[in-house]
Chains A and B, each alone.
Chain A
Amino acid sequence: MKHRKLRAIGFNALGVIVFVAAVFPVFWMVSTAFKPDDEIFSTTPHPVPAHPTLDHFSSVLHDNVAEVSFWTYFRNSLGLALATVLVSGLLALLAATAVARFRFRFRTTFLIMLLVVQMVPLEALVIPLFLDLKKLELLNSLGGLVLVYIGFAVPFAILMLRGFVAAVPKELEEAAAIDGAGPVRVFFSVLLPLVAPGLVATSIFSFITAWNEFVFAFTFLDDQDKATLPMMMQYFFGHNGNAWGSIMAASTLLTLPVIVFFLAVQRRMVSGLTAGAVKG
């Protein structure tokens, strides 16, 4: 009995260590963001700010980075992410319905294509997509970038959504059809409300994809007033390398929404990524 208790204490201690190691970098980011400069560069680091200050946040929100205000970066990032969510959500819902509700030729081919596409090294596609968008005169435009992000977000969104569509009992749709509802009506009145939670989870994933993306935005957007938050971070970090308080305040503003969203949907994300691998 005593042996078992000792073991439980040991495991819990390990759990605490893992928790601290996992959270510490993010904690340190937030903590630095609230510290006055003399504490940040003090020879004895303080884990928690002794004299917390909002100076760094206010300087991020009010001073310009590369002559552009934080809110411009924020608006660009938010617009890109929302447009990606809307379009990729619609495309994914259509395709997920096809895959979950119908048997058709090329269905397996289509699913394999979705799997393969997720493994394509996106960084390798920067070069050709740069030239294509240049030809279409969509370079240096948020619209062109949204197109690219949709391509990245859709395959995973379909794989994630199809489980939700498949989980809606087909009998409900059949019952509605017998009552005289056409396919469009069935889709909007029966299927859509029932897959709504799945659609939300998928949307958050697409949102994060677009919100976090750096390489393509950095390469395709030239004008600073079209730049995104990750680009702002990179610029800030590269040009004011030692303004750690403000850099960490900006990082906090970029990161916390993602973490909150992420914790809300993680369960479904894991099942989307490895669904089936644990079926047993």
Chain B
Amino acid sequence: MLDTAPAVRTAPDRDDPGPARPRRRFRPGPYLLILPTVAVIAVLMFWPIVQIGIMSFQKVGTRQLRGEPAEQVGLDNFRTIVDDPFFWQTLRHTVLFAVVAVVLTMVVGTLIGLLLNKLGRRMANVVAGGVLVAWATPPVTAAIIFSWLFGSTGGLVNWTLDKLPDALVGGGWDDHNWFATPLSTYTVLTICVVWQACPFVAVSVLAGLKSVPSELYEAARVDGSSAWRSFWSITVPLLKPIFLLLIVMSIIWDFKVFTQLFIMSGLANRDAFNLSLYAYSEAFGSLNPKLGMGSAIAVVLTLLLLVVTAVYVRVMVRQGETR
């Protein structure tokens, strides 16, 4: 990236005549250019975050939607949540899903990235193109396609499992309902999300691998190092920043997964809720909307992600992304 800094940086004040002249003339240009964006982000992102914070201490229901002032309830919303075993169940779902999905995404994505790096150019382009198709699929359609693949009648997965020897996979797959229990719902969700997310990891890892000088690997091979050893001693340390970034982004994406779960399992299936679905359902899911409760759950989700975000920003700043 071109560094335009020297051209506009003011010269050192060698011949500064004194305090009468300001050291640098204020130029409104750049501020005017970013003003619309700052306004949009302030109104559409930062103010709503403040609002969730305020509302999490309020009761906001049907009467408030009609225009009555909100009722201050202090920590009541949070107390209700913490005392409710259902909240802990959704939190468990959220965390377990994120852990499994992130690990799988990283491992599968990295392996695909390594493979793309080993393939010839033509083959690599074909495979990369195919992998990108998965990435490009809209979340709503991805969820619907996987619901179809795992469908109980006519679904391809059940058919395949039914044809496989019973000794291997057990019997009775014929019209197995994958969306009957949270565990199997999340299995399908995990496959769907990992399918969509690992291309991004693969392509990023590939971009990173291309930047590692091949002499390093040759030298290691001459010294008798195995491929496994080379991966852990050369690739991983050199690509550490990009791995860190990918892990953080995956955690954030998987923690707040909503659309796919909403389509696959829906608001009626409370057993399979995660935190975002729980918050949404409290706020909008019934005839008795509890927007304050929903906000409190959203606050918990945001706080959890804030920790991860802090790591992300630190990495980005260290990488010089804000220079």
Whether B29 lies near A262 (C-beta < 8 A) is no
| A interface: dominant SS | helix
Whether B140 lies near A112 (C-beta < 8 A) is no
With known contacts A123-B279, A237-B144, A255-B141, A23–B133 Cβ distance under 8 A: yes
Alpha-carbon distance A215/B5, docked complex (angstroms) = 41
Q: Which of B76-84, B85-93, B198-206 contacts A (4 or more CB under 8 A)?
A: B198-206
Which chain A residues border B298 with CB–CB below 8 Å? 121, 123-124, 127
Rounded to whole Å, the gap between the CB of A29 and the closest CB of chain B is 5
Q: Which of B1, B45, B51 contacts A120 (CB 8 A)?
A: B45
Whether A254 lies near B322 (C-beta < 8 A) is no
A residues 231-280 touching B (CB-CB < 8 Å): 233-234, 237-238, 242, 244, 247-248, 251, 254-255, 258-259, 261-263, 266, 270-271, 273-280
User: Is A1 an interface residue when CB atoms closer than 8 A count as contact?
Assistant: no
Q: Which of B7, B44, B291 contacts A127 (CB 8 A)?
A: B291
Alpha-carbon distance A188/B221, docked complex (angstroms) = 54
Closest Cβ neighbor of B154 among chain A residues: A41
Whether B134 lies near A25 (C-beta < 8 A) is yes
Alpha-carbon distance A111/B30, docked complex (angstroms) = 13
With known contacts A19-B130, A25-B145, A233-B144, A127–B319 Cβ distance under 8 A: no
Which chain A residues border B279 with CB–CB below 8 Å? 123-124, 127
The 8 A CB mask of B290-308 against A (1 = contact, 0 = none) is 0100110011011001001
Alpha-carbon distance A100/B83, docked complex (angstroms) = 51
User: Is A198 an interface residue when CB atoms closer than 8 A count as contact?
Assistant: no
Alpha-carbon distance A19/B238, docked complex (angstroms) = 28
Whether B153 lies near A251 (C-beta < 8 A) is no
Rounded to whole Å, the gap between the CB of B21 and the closest CB of chain A is 19
The 8 A CB mask of B15-55 against A (1 = contact, 0 = none) is 00000000000010111011011101101110111011001
With known contacts A25-B149, A163-B1, A95–B115 Cβ distance under 8 A: no
Alpha-carbon distance A92/B40, docked complex (angstroms) = 11
Which chain B residues border A94 with CB–CB below 8 Å? 33-34, 36-37
Alpha-carbon distance A94/B30, docked complex (angstroms) = 9
Alpha-carbon distance A200/B295, docked complex (angstroms) = 37
Whether A119 lies near B312 (C-beta < 8 A) is yes
Closest Cβ neighbor of B8 among chain A residues: A103
User: Is B195 an interface residue when CB atoms closer than 8 A count as contact?
Assistant: yes
| B interface: dominant SS | helix
Instruction: Report, as a range, how many residues of chain B touch the other chain.
Output: 35 or more
Q: Which of B45, B119, B138, B245 contacts A15 (CB 8 A)?
A: B119
Alpha-carbon distance A112/B27, docked complex (angstroms) = 22
The 8 A CB mask of B238-271 against A (1 = contact, 0 = none) is 1101100110010010011011001100100000
Closest Cβ neighbor of A149 among chain B residues: B44
Which chain A residues border B73 with CB–CB below 8 Å? none
Alpha-carbon distance A56/B114, docked complex (angstroms) = 41
Q: Give the total number of A-B pairs whose CB atoms are below 8 A apart.
A: 320
Which chain B residues border A100 with CB–CB below 8 Å? 4
User: Is A83 an interface residue when CB atoms closer than 8 A count as contact?
Assistant: no
Which chain B residues border A131 with CB–CB below 8 Å? 51, 60, 65, 291
User: Is B97 an interface residue when CB atoms closer than 8 A count as contact?
Assistant: no
Q: Which of A59-67, A68-76, A150-158, A189-197 contacts B (4 or more CB under 8 A)?
A: A150-158
The 8 A CB mask of B98-135 against A (1 = contact, 0 = none) is 00000000000000100110111001101101111111
A residues 18-65 touching B (CB-CB < 8 Å): 18-23, 25-26, 28-29, 32, 40-43, 45
With known contacts A124-B279, A127-B52, A276-B316, A115–B321 Cβ distance under 8 A: yes
Whether A19 lies near B30 (C-beta < 8 A) is no
Whether A151 lies near B40 (C-beta < 8 A) is yes
User: Is B236 an interface residue when CB atoms closer than 8 A count as contact?
Assistant: no
The 8 A CB mask of A96-110 against B (1 = contact, 0 = none) is 011111111001101
Q: A8-B120, A22-B199, A128-B51 are in contact. List 8 more A-B contacts (CB 8 A).
A: A18-B131, A28-B156, A94-B37, A108-B322, A115-B312, A183-B29, A275-B1, A277-B319
A-B contact pairs, 11 of them (CB 8 A): A26-B137, A102-B27, A119-B308, A124-B298, A125-B48, A170-B4, A266-B135, A274-B207, A277-B241, A278-B207, A278-B242
A-B pairs, 10 with minimum CB distance: A151-B44, A262-B136, A98-B33, A124-B298, A128-B51, A128-B48, A102-B30, A98-B30, A111-B322, A19-B130
